Structure 1
Amino acid sequence: MAAQRKLVLVDGSGYLYRAFHALPPLTNSRGEPTGAVLGVLNMLQKLRKEETPDLIAVVFDAPGKTFRDALFESYKAQRTPMPDDLRSQLQPLLDSVNALGLPCLRVDGVEADDVIGTLAQQAAAQGYDVIISTGDKDMAQLVNDRITLVNTMTGSRLNREGVKAKFDVYPEQIVDYLALVGDTSDNIPGIPKVGPKTAAKWLGEYGTLDKVVENAASITGKVGENLRAGMKELELSRKLATLDCNVKLDTPFETLRVGEPDRERLKELFTRLEFRALLRQVVGGDAADEAASSASPAAPAAEGAPIPAPVPRNYETVLTAAALEIWVAQLKSANVISLNLATTSAGYMQADIVGIAFSIEPGTVAYVPMSHDYPGAPAQLSRDAVLQALRPVLESEQPLKVGYDLKYKGHVLKRAGIELRGDKFDIMLESYVLNSTATKHELSAISRRYLGIDPIAYESVAGKGAKQLQLNQVGIDVATNFVAEEADLALQLHRLLWPRLEGLPALQGLYETIEQPLLPVLLRMEQAGVLLDGDLLRKQSGELATRMREIESQAYAAAGGPFSLESPKQLQEVLFGKLGLPVIRKTPTGQPSTAEDVLEELAASYELPKLIMDYRAFAKLKSTYTDKLPLQINRSTQRVHTCYQQAIAATGRLSSADPNLQNIPIRTPEGRRIRQAFVAPSGQCIVAADYSQIELRIMAHLSGDEGLLQAFGEDRDIHLATAAEVFSMTLDTVSADQRRTAKMINFGLIYGMSPFGLASRLGIERSVAAKYVDLYFQRYPGVRRYMDETRQLAHERGYVETVFGRRLYLNDINARNAGLRQAAERAAINAPMQGTAADIIKRAMIQVDHWLQQSKLPARLLLQVHDELVFEVRRDLAEDLIAHVRELMSGAAELRVPLKVDAGIGENWDEAH
């Protein structure tokens, strides 16, 4: 009987991380992340069913340091902090495990591994069979005749022989093995260049680490030198790798029995998390039905909806004109078709077409290869013949096209002489508009999320690194599956996502009037590019290098000797060790921080931090812009062509990449000089037009505050007007410092700045800053009312909206953690303003582009940078362009206050802004 008793110990922290990274991200209708919780609970249910234990415990790491941190200051130092959307799932998981009646352990000052090791050895000594459910290799040191490891995600089991087969050492040698190899995840040093094979070989030959050390002199080669050089660290590595199996626990293993589930608590938890299947399984069908009916009707994508059944695949390779003719006829008669391209490059200015795939019904796809040119490739239809046959389909508004990233496909087809039309349904944008904060919007992410399908990875088809192939070098049979799959998944996703958008008319309108019409506008901007003076940038690089050397010399003098300005460790030693400057903040590893905000605070009183900040600023300008931009000038066009990304920023703002042209500094002389390199061709000039104080105007509109409405309605200087109100002065008596304070209050409140933050920014006492904020709200009571109402509405709905209906979900708005909740509340206030500003400039871009196309004015829209549009126009028509652009931008939205547009003309971007 004793031999049949079983204890199951679950590595709860490991479960949580693995579920988060391995499973599709899910959120409930409030936008709260739930996927990791669901994954762990399902794994626990599966484990209990398969193992039927007498005793069980789910063990989690407790917050705070352990004895290993005392042993080694850098233990786990390189680990990144827990992602916010994982951290927010920890408490719901702990609550759910407890409500299920499962013993849940977190022991302060002790890692979960040590708790598991202690319980495992105690139970094994009493005759229990112990199953440890984990994916952690450190646990292999516990394996013996009574203790077995089980990996729930892979189904593998490791007994003593299994450990030997996997690591080539026995369980009793695992600690020595880990000490030699080290562990990058835990930052255990190990011996440099000693890998698993070398460690296993030495332990197989000598038996133990001590014997390896005794024989170190006889181990030849570089690896032997490394061993001898690193022997001082070996004992530390061994201690760090050894589990402490003598932890004093308040919970004896014999008490780890499953209790009665708390069905009311489970109903409450699973209803909020929208785990309907688990509700039926654990609580009952009525509760699940009730949860389904109580879920928010505003759910963006029915995150808890079941994954549809897989669609049978029939992917056809088209190699003959007759087969292509049949497909073209079907495409012409279809209402909606899905489209994908095989290309030679991810860069839209370089990519050539290798093949094209079409789908009319899910599961049925045709791939037409054209340019696969590897040795032995079968004969294919010529690209010219295929494109000519498809031109009537591709250049017609009907059939409507579905695809992933249709802008890129439009670029590539344009290079081949085809103008893509009817590009109505971009699934990347459909996913983004439904819920911009829920997940990334790459094809792989949304396919996993909505279809439960992990698409074929490009690397699995073409390889990695320097040996990676272009698709024209990949076998046609392999390419068919890869290229056809995207067309197939795009159609399946569209059929899932579009009805959900149709069920939310505001979001459907946002897609149809802003996001989709913006595609051709962005395509034209990207094609146009912007002219760059590479020689000027290279000259600026030299000047920045000279200035950096000067600062370096000044820093050495201030520090009393040379050191590396780019080494945080050396900077720590100089600032806080040698010079004894006050430590403002510490890093997670306990080291004095040298972050930008810390240096900024120190720079107010000390010379060296200010020099370091200047050095860093110049180094960033040099590496990011003056060195790099000249290398990104396209040889054919002699211009730089950025890529505008619509589905990145949750607020709706566009992002610029490869290169990023939106973050060039404008507040420093050096940053503005970089803008001088953005020039116009001979006979033309640059025009820049930007919205003046657009977010403050949106605040006035949303809040309806009479004071703000009046100030903007009378076109007063809003910061001057605010200063006059807050300080009870007339406009003509407001000083420059008082206006600066008012400006900081105006913008600070938009971004949720606290009195503490305002005090820090202005260099004043917190009580004085609090008084300023109180005075502001007394003068502008509508702003406070708007903020309070917005916070409350966000808590109730889980999202806020822009003027045009864009939803911005706030995953942490009801988080238990006060810091996360307060950050979400600040976002709730700011997001409608940022999002509305993003919507307005997109509407303006669409209208301006339409006018440019219709008027045939010799001008081009080149850049969008936050609230600014940059144009290239014939010099004699610049004023005409400004007049029309001002009118169109000002009319892009009807707010309670007028939208004001500032515009300028110059030979370069800096002059025009």
Structure 2
Amino acid sequence: MCVRDKKLVLVDGSSYLYRAYYALPQLSNSSGEPTGALYGVVNMLHKLLSEEADEHIAVVFDAPGRTFRDDLFEQYKAHRPPMPDELRSQLNPLKEIISALGIPVVEVAGVEADDVIGTLARRSVGPVLISTGDKDMAQLVDERVTLLNTMTGRRLDPAGVEERFGVPPEAVRDYLALVGDKSDNIPGIPKVGEKTAAKWLQEYGNIAALRENADEIKGKVGESLRAHLNELELSVNLATIRCDLDLDVSPPQLLRQSPDNSRLRELYRRYEMRRLLKELEPDSPEHNAKADMQQGPESAGNQKHGVNQTSSEQDLSPDYQLVTDEQELDVWIASLKEAEAFAFDLETDSLSYMDAAIVGFALAVKPHQAAYVPVAHDYDSTLGQLRQLSLDYVLARLRPLLEDDNQLKVGQNLKYDMSVLARYGIDLRGVAYDTMLESYVLDSTATRHDMDSLAWKYLGVSTTTYEDLCGKGAKQKPFASIDVHKAKDYAAEDADITLRLHQKLLPRLKDKPSLFNVFSQLEMPLVPVLSRMERGGVKVDQEMLGEQSKELAERMSEVESLAHSEAGEEFNLNSPRQIQEILFERMGLPVEHRTPKGQPSTAEAVLEELRHKGYELPRLILEHRGWAKLKSTYTDKLPRLIHPQTGRVHTSYHQAVAATGRLSSSDPNLQNIPIRSEAGRKIRQAFIAEPGYSLVTADYSQVELRIMAHLSADEGLQRAFAAGEDIHRSTAAEVFGVEHPSDEQRRAAKAINFGLIYGMSAWGLGRQLNIERELAQLYIDRYFERYPGVREFMAKTREQARERGYVETVFGRRLYLPEISSRNRQRREYAERTAINAPMQGTAADIIKQAMIDVDAMLSDKYPGVHMVMQVHDELVLEIPQEQIEPVSKRVQKLMAAADQGALTVPLEVEIGVGRDWDEAH
């Protein structure tokens, strides 16, 4: 094949950009620059290049500004929202990266990327591969031109196009013109769907023939066709991809050049694209170390560095030692004893703290100096006899150090190590510093606090990940089967990096005394408390949950039948596409919101709006979703989570997830079990006490409103709480101007009280109370007239947040608000609402954490047979022997009421409930 016949690969850059942006979470580098779309597009390009290693290639982007289609039809793409700011900011860096990869970038003003691709495809002599997710491109397919969807891997040749659309490629343009495109706002013919368009074109061939025979089309769809024939030409012109552009570049000129690795390193480092940077630098110390390890353990030098380090750090070769005999362990134990604090990390065979077996111990006493003590690596005859100390021996030698309060430990997520060691009879003490929590307290709004992310962010080190060492997916090897010399470098690095992170983060915390206090007085003391709660678990009634699953399945089936009857046909209630077609195309319901791609949204909030307007089918779909979520998340899943050895469910509490400081939980998620619905209460009935015990709930009453009263210093609110009044009834009396408010007025006042904390608008309040927006605004205005301190607090908080970039809880925890001055109104307003709510929610989180620490200490000292079994929102749940319920409840109530440590100017109240199960205890 001569050069001019070589394959040309054309990439729809605009399609890649949007698909990557909406497919990936909102990632950013440590400077806050968004990077999600960069990662997505570059990874898609790498995949494409690995499969299509062709030298003729280009990435084509839409140029900014109007196109000829805007001149044809002013409403073209009018429904599409503007490109989000965080996506726009990634566009130029992406083009820089693509150019540095040696790939030509093409964009032409006045036309779209589709037209440029179409023109280049038609002018190419050889085969053409177009990589896109845009269905419009199917009209370009012929014997030479193939489409490739990089996201799905699907290829479309002429036969594939006909299978996909029901028409051959040459009819796709007419097909698109008939169906229309809501995202591009191409009108099409109303009432004509994909099947109808395909049927017509199969029968008549093209739009010209269809137009001549329009009188033959029967029914309402025929009437619609004839009524809109004059508009059809516009749809055809809008749907047609131009292939006759006058371009400055021709296919033979689109040659892939050698990558500019220097520029790529600079860009990958700036945007913290660590994996790509690793792949780019085969001669880096990391890769040298890996290569050495592959050659054999004797040549595996201690050369492993991260990228982007200072020159002094690069001069320090890590000293990672393998400890396999008693004398070596003795030397390390002596070093640990002398250290002010040492880093400690377990290597195990499972992420489940209830099941993990110890495979080895990693230790570090100085930066760049660490050891790995293997105890349970598998024997592999190809490596010769494996020498390692026994687990029992190492545990016996380390126990005095691990259980010594005065031997300070540093770790990353030490709660896990603590829980695993507890199953081996070791009470890990001296737990002083957790780098995950140090990072979290410094900036809770950072998206990740895992060791690999922190190593890059604070040390500029690209670490070896577990997947790097053990592989991914079904081919992933157990850690115990990894060559002990490779495992040594990985595990010792964990301990080393953790110690170095601690030495970076602790001084930053100490520079902010209030944050250091939150870390040292709340977060770290809470670690052993949560470990004990997790290991203790909570008992659930498996048989009851099974019955509830059956009931929910029956309800779902009933609702599904009603939904099918309402729609007039059967459809999949779990399919957004089918729901979209039923609601908006066939039933003609109003489109409340659109997806970023311009399609009518079927999100829960949209269905709620439609339900609120009286439409029955959205209500049924929401009801079905609610039952399905309860069934899959709780009644089906909880029995599978019962541990075979304890017969109880053991959740995992997460300290470093919620930005406000609140705890979250998983497997199961205890925070999201509905309390107001009948089904939610039934699920709570399945959480039970052991025979001879009861569950006792201790719940803060209106804690966030009390914190609002303190922060706002509003005299009316403070007076009501000080007098022990029902705050919702008091608010109702003030807002409605009555002495004895009705229950309905109290409910409205409750909505106002909590709604304003969360930044609810008059529109939102009106929806919740089912009243007109104007009346809801009147209620809000009256509220602020009666409680002027609240309005002043809100205004002052917004202003302070803009000035400082963060807000604080009463205890000094900070929540940073990077969007508080955003040019995007929605993001800015969300940040303002967060600024008002976060000090209250964060202070409530701080208070209940202090309460948990205090209650745990009291129980350990006075009532060792009593255990906290759950923490949910503002509530603690304890399992108490029935004869101890009264004295323990009184002590718990007193400690929780004093957990603010006198910081609040209003009293805290704690309500106690007792029951055989969680629901009854409310």
TM-score band by shorter chain is 0.7 to 0.9
Moved more, 349-358 or 236-245: 236-245
Q: 1:479 to 1:13 in 2, by over 3 A?
A: same
Change in 2 beyond 3 A, CA 1:356/1:229: same
Q: What residue identity is the alignment partner of 1:718? A: I
Residue number in structure 2 paired with 1:755 = 762
User: Which has the higher mean CA deviation after the structures are superposed, 544-553 or 523-532?
Assistant: 544-553
Counterpart check, 1:701 vs 2:710: yes
Q: 1:519 maps to which residue?
A: 527
Q: Structure 2 residue aligned with 1:389, among 374, 390, 397?
A: 397
| 1:341 maps to 2:277 | no
Pick aligned residue for 2:693 from 680, 684, 692 = 684
Q: Tell me the CA shift for residue 23 of structure 1.
A: 13
Amino acid at match of 1:532: V
The residue that corresponds to 1:136 in the other structure is none
Q: Which moves more between the two structures, 408-417 or 587-596?
A: 587-596
| Counterparts of 1:741 and 1:210, CA distance in 2 | 61
In the alignment, which residue of structure 1 is the partner of 2:296?
none
**Retained in 2: the 8 A contact 1:532–1:639?**
yes
Q: Which residue of 2 aligns with 1:197?
A: none
The count of aligned residue pairs is: 745
Distance in 2, Cα, partners of 1:615 & 1:65: 45
Report the 3-state secondary structure (helix = DSSP H, G, I; strand = E; otherwise coil) of the residue aligned with 2:431: coil
Paired with 2:132 and 2:692, the residues of 1 have a C-alpha distance of 63
CA change 1:536–1:231 in 2 (3 A) is closer
Classify 1:247/1:443 alpha carbon distance in 2 versus 1 (closer, same or farther; 3 Å). Answer: farther
Q: Does residue 399 in structure 1 map to residue 404 in structure 2?
A: no
Residue of structure 2 equivalent to 1:867: 874
Residues in 2 aligned to 1:863 and 1:82: alpha-carbon distance in whole angstroms: 44
| Matches of 1:597 and 1:856, distance apart in 2 | 47
CA distance in 2 between counterparts of 1:723 and 1:105 reads: 64
1:473 corresponds to which residue? 481
Aligned residue number for residue 316 of structure 1: 321
Give the equivalent residue in structure 1 for 2:557. Answer: 549
| Shift of residue 208, structure 1, vs aligned partner | 2.0
Q: Deviations over 1:200-252 (max 9, x none)?
A: xxx9xx9824999xxxxxxxxx9997577358677489999999797799xxx
Q: Secondary structure at the match of 1:340?
A: strand
Of 803, 811, 814 in structure 2, the residue corresponding to residue 807 of structure 1 is: 814
**In the alignment, is residue 357 of structure 1 matched against residue 362 of structure 2?**
yes
Of the three residues 489, 497, 516, the one matched with 1:489 is: 497
**Equivalent AA in structure 2 for residue 822 of structure 1:** E
Find the residue that maps to 1:521 and give its secondary structure.
helix
Q: Percent of aligned positions with the same letter in both sequences?
A: 48
Shift of 1:834: 0.7
Determine the C-alpha separation between the residues in 1 that align with 2:915 and 2:836.
Answer: 37
Tell me if the contact between 1:643 and 1:656 (Cα under 8 Å) persists in the aligned partners: yes
Which of 366, 369, 374 lines up with 2:371 in the alignment? 366
User: Which residue is equivalent to 2:540?
Assistant: 532
Instruction: Call closer, same or farther: CA 1:370–1:752 in 2, change over 3 Å.
Output: same
* Correspondence for 1:774: 781
Pair 1:868–1:81, CA change in 2 (3 A) = farther
Number of the residue aligned with 2:232:
none
Q: Give the Cα–Cα distance (whole angstroms) in 2 for the partners of residues 619 and 38 of structure 1.
A: 36
Q: Secondary structure at the match of 1:436?
A: coil
Q: Secondary structure at the match of 1:853?
A: helix
Q: Deviation string for 1:542-582 (max 9, x for gaps)?
A: 11111111222222222223222222222233333443333
* Within-5 A mapping of 1:435-454: 435-454=443-462
In the alignment, is residue 735 of structure 1 matched against residue 738 of structure 2? no
- Give SS of 1:360's match: strand
How far is 1:772 from its partner?
1.4
Instruction: State the distance in 1 between where 2:687 and 2:376 align.
Output: 38
* 2-structure distance, mates of 1:838, 1:771: 32
Contact 1:530 1:862 (C-alpha < 8 Å) held by counterparts: yes
Q: Over residues 798-852 of structure 1, what are the superposed CA-to-partner deviations in whole Å (9 max), with x where a residue is unaligned?
A: 0000000000000101111222111111111011011101101000000000100
Letter in 1 for 2:888: L
User: Secondary structure, in 3 states, of the residue corresponding to 1:764?
Assistant: coil
Distance 1:908 1:66 in 2: 68
Q: Is the 8 A contact 1:751 1:830 kept in 2?
A: yes
Q: Which has the higher contact order (CA 8 A, sep 6+)?
A: 1
Counterpart code for 2:692:
G
1:421 aligns with 2:432: no
Q: Given the superposition, is the C-alpha separation of residues 62 and 545 from structure 1 closer, same or farther in structure 2, using an over 3 Å criterion?
A: farther
Instruction: Find the residue that maps to 2:855 and give its secondary structure.
Output: helix
Q: Does 1:793 align with 2:800?
A: yes
Tell me, in whole angstroms, the C-alpha distance in 2 between the residues paired with 1:517 and 1:586: 47
Give the Cα–Cα distance (whole angstroms) in 2 for the partners of residues 312 and 763 of structure 1.
68
Contact 2:161-2:167 at 8 Å conserved across structures: no
Instruction: Specify the code of the residue in structure 1 equivalent to 2:394.
Output: V
Distance 2:643 2:147 in 1: 62
- Displacement, 1:190? 7.4
Name the CA distance, whole Å, in 2 between partners of 1:492 and 1:664. 40
In the alignment, what sits opposite 2:163? 229
SS across alignment from 1:909: coil
1:105 to partner: Cα distance: 12
Q: Unaligned 5+ residue runs, structure 2?
A: 1-11, 40-59, 97-104, 149-155, 177-238, 248-269, 271-307
Q: 1:710 aligns with which of 705, 719, 734?
A: 719
Matched, 1:839 2:846: yes
Contact 1:374-1:472 within 8 A present in 2 as well: no
CA distance in 2, matches of 1:526, 1:671: 22
Which of the numbers 722, 725, 742 marks the counterpart of 2:734? 725
Question: Distance in 2 between the 1:571 and 1:37 partners?
Answer: 29
Q: Deviations over 1:359-399 (max 9, x none)?
A: 11111111011100142361211111111111121111233
Question: Which residue in 2 is equivalent to 1:101?
Answer: none
Question: Distance in 2 between the 1:16 and 1:591 partners?
Answer: 14
Q: 1:353 to 1:454 in 2, by over 3 A?
A: same
The separation in 2 between residues aligned to 1:244 and 1:474, in whole angstroms, is: 57
Classify 1:566/1:358 alpha carbon distance in 2 versus 1 (closer, same or farther; 3 Å).
same
Q: Which moved more, 1:893-902 or 1:556-565?
A: 556-565
Structure-2 change in CA distance of 1:63 and 1:507 (3 Å): farther
Superposed CA deviations along residues 676-705 of structure 1, whole A, max 9, x for unmatched, are 110001000100111111111000000000
Where do 5+ consecutive residues of structure 1 fail to align?
Answer: 1-9, 40-57, 97-103, 122-138, 145-170, 192-202, 213-221, 250-272, 274-303
Query: Using the alignment, how far apart are the partners of 2:147 and 2:439 within structure 1?
Result: 60
1:265-289 Cα shifts (integer Å, max 9, x gaps): xxxxxxxx9xxxxxxxxxxxxxxxx
Alpha-carbon spacing, 1:581–1:83, altered in 2? closer, same or farther (3 Å)? closer
Determine if contact 1:791/1:825 at 8 Å carries over to the other structure: yes
Q: Which residue in the other structure is 1:253 paired with?
A: none
Match of 1:510 in 2: 518
Cα distance in 1, alignment partners of residues 490 and 442 from structure 2: 27
The aligned residue for residue 202 of structure 2 is: none
Provide the aligned C-alpha RMSD in A. Answer: 4.4
Pick which of 394-403 and 824-833 moved more. Answer: 394-403
Select between 427-436 and 601-610 the one with higher mean Cα deviation: 601-610
Distance in 2, Cα, partners of 1:401 & 1:324:
18
Give SS of 1:347's match: coil
Secondary structure at the counterpart of residue 888 of structure 1: helix
What is the distance in 1 between the residues matched to 2:375 and 2:171? 57
Matches within 5 A, 1:650-689: 650-689=659-698
**3-state DSSP of counterpart to 2:671:** coil
Distance in 2 (alpha carbons) for counterparts of 1:431 and 1:344 = 26
Residue-by-residue CA offset, 1:67-126 (whole Å, 9 max, x unaligned): 79x99xxx9x9x999888x359569999x9xxxxxxx999998657978x89xx9xxxxx
* Residues in 2 aligned to 1:211 and 1:335: alpha-carbon distance in whole angstroms: 63
The question of whether the paired residues in 2 share the 8 Å contact of 1:33 and 1:88 is answered with: no
Paired letter, 2:703: I
Partner AA of 1:557 in structure 2: S
State the distance in 2 between where 1:675 and 1:22 align. 33
- Residues 41-190 of structure 1: matches in 2 within 5 Å? 62=64, 86-87=86-87, 173=126, 175=128, 177-178=129-130, 183=132
> Contact between 2:138 and 2:169, CA under 8 Å: does it hold in 1?
no
| Contact residue 62 and residue 106 of structure 1 kept, 8 A | no
